[in-house]
Amino acid sequence: MKTLLLLRHAKSVLGQAGLPDHDRSLNRRGERAAAIMADHIVAKSLRPDLILCSTATRTRQTLAPLVEHLHSPAPPIALERALYLASEGMLLTRLRDVPDEFGTVLLIGHNDGIWELAQVLAGHGRATAMAALHERFPTGALATLQAPIEHWRDLAAGEAELMAFVCPRDLVPD
């Protein structure tokens, strides 16, 4: 069994003249959401064995509070330029290359690729979680999937179960 955590970066600042999209940072709401999601991941014992993260500023800032909350030592972290705005197919190819020693992988990326990947992999799950996933994948959202596979290379469309789909707003008391 392999577990995949798909986390979309938290809310970022809007584009600024002269600032490349890759370099956009989180806004205040995004910083709060990143901390909330880090707390959630730790509270639910979803500790990744490997973290794959886009090199974009906003994805690295989304990762930072989680690294602070995880007990030392932190899991291996691969910051990869190829994950920046990667398509569903590119993300799936990258995941299939993960060494089998890693049982739980956290991938921090961008829409639309991360949303499309979650939809392609999730063949079943709780009806409410599946409906929420198919509606949208907002900033800061986390999809937790389990695939009944032994090897990452066998990760395939429709074979994973969507265990949970959580957005930062779901975790903030009214």
Q: What is the pLDDT of residue 82?
A: 97
Mean pLDDT of all residues belonging to the chain: 95
Q: What is the pLDDT of residue 19?
A: 84
Residues 6+ apart with CB under 8 A from 136: 115
Domains detected in the chain: 2-10+22-171 (3.40.50.1240)
Q: What is the pLDDT of residue 174?
A: 53
Quote the CA–CA distance of 146 and 5 in Å, as a whole number. 9
Return the axis-axis angle of helices 127-135 and 113-121, rounded to nearest 10°: 150
Chain segment 46-83, per-residue pLDDT in tens: 999 999 999 999 999 999 999 999 978 889 999 999 99
- pTM score: 0.96
Average pLDDT over residues 121-136: 96
Quote the CA–CA distance of 28 and 10 in Å, as a whole number. 10
